[in-house]
Structure 1
Amino acid sequence: MGADLLPRSILQQYDLRKDVWALLPPMPTARYDANTHLLANKLYVAGGRQCKRPVKAFEVFDAETRSWTTLPSMPCKRSYGGVLWDVTGRLCLLGGLRQGGHQSSKFTKNVNIFDTNQGCWLKSEETVAMKTKRADFASAFLRGRMVVAGGLGHEPSALDTVEAFHPQKKKWERLSPMNSPRCSTSSIVIRDRLLVVGGVNQVPSSAHEILYVKEEEYL
């Protein structure tokens, strides 16, 4: 087995003022391709893979106490998904790969929601799946809506589709597609705009696009 397939549990912290790296307590579960989300002083790590096999591990690191806590395992194994935090204190895991290896990979459109207040996962009937199965996509929370863009699915090339969850209608709706289909992008939200930068289709991309969600689109 090649060294690039070995899962790691290392957690490191960079101090900009001192220009030094420091080791922090390692993750309880070694993995790669995990879904992560930082909220205040807590880093949530969900899923990932060990030697091409996805895992259900779900853990959180508290930067103040410098300690890890093991949370209830995810309802299904997955990697390469999206992770968003909504305004009600819930962590939402979107899509991803449910099996390992390129030939046996299974893309999913499932949405799993963890209620941090109750410390449990919502039942499947309380969630609404995305329209399109996808993994390795851009995701963001804009004006009360979950938005996903691009990624990989059951298509010969990367996706250009974009969709958003409308909380009042309780359904996913299609938005204007990206000009450039791609996956493995970088993204950031600035002033109600989702910026999707770079990525890969068949070759690395230098494209960048902006999605702006207007207030009237909620009505």
Structure 2
Amino acid sequence: MMDVPSIKDFQWKTLAPLPSRRVYCSLVEAGGQVYAIGGCDDNGVPMDCFEVYSPEANQWNSLPPMPTARAGVAVATLGKRIMVIGGVGANQTPLKIVEMYNIDEGKWKKRNSLREASMGISVTAKDYRIYAAGGMGGDLRPHNYMQHYDMLKDIWVSLATMPTPRYAATSFLRGTKIYVLGGRQSKYAVNAFEVFDIETRSWTKFPNIPSKRAFSSFVCAENNIFSLGGLRQGRLYRQPKFMKNVDVFDIEQGGWMKIERSFFLKKRRADFISGYLKGRIVVAGGLGNQPTVLESAEAFHPGKNKWESLPPMPTPRCACSNIVVKNCLLAVGGVNQGLSDAVEALCVSDS
């Protein structure tokens, strides 16, 4: 049984705010710095802004803007390069444009485009290759593409198609396997769970996520994948409902575990931030009943198999961009009535 931090080891830090308010910006970490890429402004217009946050100095610096304004981009780092893939452009349609920022040179370069315009692509990087799964095209149809980008040749190569077409899926790389969970087809959530093997270049269907929810969150722990909260979508005679459900996949056993109710979140929530900090799954903010923007945060205790309340988020919001850096879960931007420029970090200390 691993020693995990206690609740009193967690605290929120208020960091330097974003230079401009936004939602749907993409975050990536490279060399200990956090890069914020694009997003939408108050009027829902995609932005070309590109900034870097230095945790040491607690400050944001503006970098050369992206050549193409966009929001909801897929982003991956390859060494000292940041690849920006697809997303939604200024006319609110998906893009096929791929651009690369060289951190050392401080310059953007156009790269070979995707074969089709696409938003909501799920990307994973391994060995100087980027793997891009799914997405949604201009016709609003979900894609089943799996393609990899070869940096040396600047080409996209099509691989075996994903069994379930979808966009906005979550992927995790473990060894030579890419786990692809959830996502949507048009407005509706899918509960597909499929795994791509980089070596054999083939897909395997895994057991479906037990409960189908939109705006849920997936977190990968040492031996488990957690599917957390979300919104049960309304259908003909059914009201939409915020959920506190938690499903846990046992990676060794290859199946979803039977879950006691103690595993469920304390608070129903969707569109929240989540992460894995020193052996504890943490969630914060999001939307809850009524619907209201939430400030509450909680952490799962793997020994007690239950959630414990954490200090609340200083700025309650949903639709934040988030990233884990150095034992801190950063919440960047998002929505609280209007758009927010708040940047806050839930940090766990070395007790």
Q: One fold, TM greater than 0.5?
A: yes
Report the equivalent of 1:196.
331
Runs of 4+ in 1 over 6 A off after TM superposition: none
Residues 15 and 204 from structure 1, CA distance in 2 versus in 1: closer, same or farther, beyond 3 angstroms? farther
Identity %: 52
1:181 aligns with 2:333: no
Report the equivalent of 1:92.
226
Deviation, 1:96, is 1.5
Report the equivalent of 2:203.
68
1:146 aligns with 2:281: yes
More deviation in 31-40 or 64-73? 31-40
What is the distance in 1 between the residues matched to 2:263 and 2:346? 23
Residues 153 and 32 from structure 1, CA distance in 2 versus in 1: closer, same or farther, beyond 3 angstroms? farther
> Paired residue for 2:291, among 156, 159, 177?
156
Which ranges in structure 2 are unaligned for 5 or more consecutive residues? 1-136
Instruction: Kindly provide the amino acid, as one letter, of the partner of residue 211 in structure 2.
Output: C
Instruction: Kindly provide the amino acid, as one letter, of the partner of residue 159 in structure 2.
Output: L
Does the aligned pair in 2 maintain the 1:111–1:127 contact within 8 Å?
A: no
**Relative contact order higher in (CA < 8 Å, ≥ 6 apart):** 2
Residues 126 and 203 from structure 1, CA distance in 2 versus in 1: closer, same or farther, beyond 3 angstroms? closer
1:55 aligns with 2:190: yes
What is the distance in 2 between the residues matched to 1:60 and 1:93? 16
What is the distance in 2 between the residues matched to 1:100 and 1:62? 35
What is the distance in 1 between the residues matched to 2:324 and 2:231? 24
What is the distance in 1 between the residues matched to 2:274 and 2:292? 19
1:8-67 superposed Cα distances (whole Å, 9 cap, x missing partner): 222333344444433332211112333333323322222233233332211111222221
More deviation in 34-43 or 91-100? 34-43
Which ranges in structure 1 are unaligned for 5 or more consecutive residues? none
More deviation in 72-81 or 18-27? 18-27
1:44 aligns with 2:173: no
Normalised by the length of structure 2, the TM-score is 0.55
Deviation, 1:71, is 0.5
Residues 26 and 189 from structure 1, CA distance in 2 versus in 1: closer, same or farther, beyond 3 angstroms? same
Does the aligned pair in 2 maintain the 1:159–1:183 contact within 8 Å?
A: yes
Deviation, 1:123, is 0.7
Does the aligned pair in 1 maintain the 2:272–2:283 contact within 8 Å?
A: yes
Deviation, 1:215, is 4.3
Deviation, 1:100, is 5.0
What is the distance in 1 between the residues matched to 2:310 and 2:154? 43
SS of the aligned residue for 2:260 comes to: helix
SS of the aligned residue for 1:109 comes to: coil
Normalised by the length of structure 1, the TM-score is 0.85
What is the distance in 2 between the residues matched to 1:12 and 1:212? 36
Instruction: Kindly provide the amino acid, as one letter, of the partner of residue 179 in structure 2.
Output: Y
Does the aligned pair in 2 maintain the 1:33–1:80 contact within 8 Å?
A: no
Instruction: Kindly provide the amino acid, as one letter, of the partner of residue 119 in structure 1.
Output: G
What is the distance in 1 between the residues matched to 2:312 and 2:152? 42
Report the equivalent of 2:345.
210
Does the aligned pair in 1 maintain the 2:188–2:214 contact within 8 Å?
A: no
Instruction: Kindly provide the amino acid, as one letter, of the partner of residue 95 in structure 1.
Output: G
Residues 12 and 79 from structure 1, CA distance in 2 versus in 1: closer, same or farther, beyond 3 angstroms? farther
Size of the aligned set, in residue pairs, is 213
Does the aligned pair in 1 maintain the 2:273–2:283 contact within 8 Å?
A: yes
Instruction: Kindly provide the amino acid, as one letter, of the partner of residue 305 in structure 2.
Output: K
RMSD, aligned α-carbons: 2.4
Deviation, 1:149, is 1.3
What is the distance in 2 between the residues matched to 1:7 and 1:106? 25
What is the distance in 2 between the residues matched to 1:10 and 1:127? 38
Deviation, 1:173, is 1.1
